[in-house]
Amino acid sequence: NADEIARWLQAVRGRECRVVKETRRPVPLFPLFLHPSGKLYPLVTPSQNGKSRLHKKIRSFLNMPRAPRLSAPGKLPPFGDIIRVLRKYNLLPAVFFLKSRADCDAALNLCETNFFPDADRRLDLSLRMGELAEQSDHVARHRQRWQVENLAVGAHHSGQLPAWKIVIETLMTEGLLDAVFATSTVAAGVNFPARTIVFLNSDRFNGKEFMPLSPTEFHQMTGRAGRRGMDRIGFALAVPGKFLDAPYVARLFDMPPSDVDSRIQINFSMVLNLLLSHTPDQVEDLLKLSFARFQEKAAGSHALTESRENDRLWDEFLHHLSFLKKLGYVTRDGALTETGEWAAMLRVDQPILIAEGFRRGLFPQSDPALLAAAIAMFVFDRETGEDADRRLVPEALLDTLVRVGEGLHPLAKEMKQEKFPVRPLLIKPAAIVPAWGAGRPWETAAARGGVEVGDFSMLVLRTADNLRHVRALKKVFPDAAAAAAAAIELIM
């Protein structure tokens, strides 16, 4: 919907906005299908109207009452054998997109038949891996190093530390790996193209449920197929299984990219910062210029969406504003109070809960490790299963975390009743931050909290970021600001 975005920009800026489009791929894409016998077929054939449709042999296979399978139900396919087929037809290197982190890690153990025959290339890989391992103890002793050096395959996902992911990206970009097993996050965020991308699923987990791949997600995945300057053509290989809807995938190749829709959400941090320099009436004028407002007007009747009563963003702003007035962060006429001004400096996910924690004296202000743990409660947003066994948490730490949680519970309950998003404050992830700060080994601390090292890395980084905002409160809470500065040094 580039034309729609151009119309919005033109309306806001008062100047003509023209769209320049390029729809050709630099490297053409050819879709393939892996038959369980090991044969490769074209996935689609062009029809008379220019749209792709399933190749007749693929349709015949899918219509078989008892079609052969690559693996037992619920099991991953023999990836080593698939790589061998791809090598036979010169289709390596390949990026395999899998459903989960666990599948990416498990896939490596299914590649044990991939002992590649080129002795010189194996030596190059071993030497380069040695160079990269010298830069980091974590890389040197990584549990997947053997598979990288001996099988030329690696896993890449958000559960890993950045140092290891950079190693995989480097080796893949330099052409030293045959295959990388990755989650779909790689499609959008990392640039290591391959000759072939391989997908086993036509859906993707969005954090809540599995949904069919959108055209944009699919184009991001297939966009890795074909290396500029190295490949004249890129390949996308569909591997049949329980989670692959082959007819839907065939249609995805011809679908245009998904529309860009506004994702703007009003939150407390946004409202506080807008009120630093704008009156509520000025904020309303700003929201009228938003892309969300432009799309709402286009979707509904003009008369309906012009009224204040039916403006979603303005209603959400007023809802947040009313709650901030109730708590004493904003005056009756819409100006920030002294409390609101320092709370606006907390540009974090849950600024009101953290601000109230300081107002109510719930946070430790003299112990950096305990402050880091308390702040970590507010940033961890991944499922960890059961929370910590409180008998295993040091008494001083447990007392601190319980005091914060119980002290803010009434406010959190009130916020939920008002339909504001509130995440649970978990003790388990918060308890491992001071353990790391106290010198526990990284992997030991992560395992103790039941999180993967990549999630632990994100927890520490986000906790440090939140602490930087606390450090900025030195005029109001000088002791807490000093403790926050020390805590950053401790965990970083």
Burial of 398 (0-12, 13-18, 19+ CB in 10 A): middle
> Does the pLDDT of residue 55 top 70, yes or no?
yes
pLDDT of residue 262: 92
Run of H or E residues at 167: helix 162-173
Run of H or E residues at 237: strand 234-238
Cis peptide before 162, with omega less than 30 degrees from 0?
A: no
Strands 153-156 and 94-97 come out as: unpaired
Three-state DSSP class for residue 95? strand
pLDDT band for position 446 (cuts 50, 70, 90): confident
> Mean per-residue pLDDT for 323-344?
97
- Residues 92, 117 contacting (CB under 8 angstroms): no
Strands 44-46 and 52-54 come out as: antiparallel
> Does the pLDDT of residue 309 top 50, yes or no?
no
> Mean per-residue pLDDT for 83-89?
94
Gap between the Cα atoms of 317 and 66, Å rounded = 57
Out of 53-67, 152-166, 297-311, 413-427, least confident range: 297-311
> Does the pLDDT of residue 59 top 80, yes or no?
yes
Q: Give the number of C-alpha atoms closer than 13 A to the C-alpha of residue 22, restricted to the C-beta side.
A: 2
> Does the pLDDT of residue 99 top 70, yes or no?
yes
Token pair of 385, please?
Answer: 């299963």
Out of 37-46, 169-178, 186-195, 425-434, least confident range: 186-195
Share of the chain above pLDDT 70, in %: 94
pLDDT band for position 237 (cuts 50, 70, 90): very high
Sheet containing strand 153-156, strands side by side = 40-42, 29-34, 234-238, 196-199, 94-97, 179-182, 153-156
**Separation in Å, CA 156 to CA 76, 169, 264, 414, 484:** 17, 8, 30, 41, 33
DSSP state of 379: T
**Average of per-residue pLDDT values in the chain:** 89
pLDDT of residue 25: 87
pLDDT band for position 187 (cuts 50, 70, 90): low
List Cβ neighbours of 103 (8 Å cut-off, separation of 6 or more). Answer: 76, 181
The separation between CA 221 and the C-alpha centre of its own chain, rounded to angstroms, equals 15
- pLDDT tens readout for residues 175-185: 999 999 998 76
Residues shown for the chain: 492
- Supply φ then ψ for residue 253, to 5 degrees: -60, -25
pLDDT band for position 382 (cuts 50, 70, 90): low
> Does the pLDDT of residue 90 top 70, yes or no?
yes
pLDDT of residue 304: 52
Token pair of 467, please?
Answer: 């602490």
pLDDT of residue 437: 83
> Does the pLDDT of residue 8 top 80, yes or no?
yes
Share of the chain above pLDDT 90, in %: 64
> Does the pLDDT of residue 143 top 50, yes or no?
yes
> Mean per-residue pLDDT for 429-439?
84
- pLDDT tens readout for residues 447-485: 877 788 888 899 999 999 999 999 999 999 999 999 999
DSSP string, 311-351: -HHHHHHHHHHHHHHHHTSB-TTS-B-HHHHHHTT--SSSH
Gap between the Cα atoms of 88 and 91, Å rounded = 8
pLDDT band for position 431 (cuts 50, 70, 90): confident
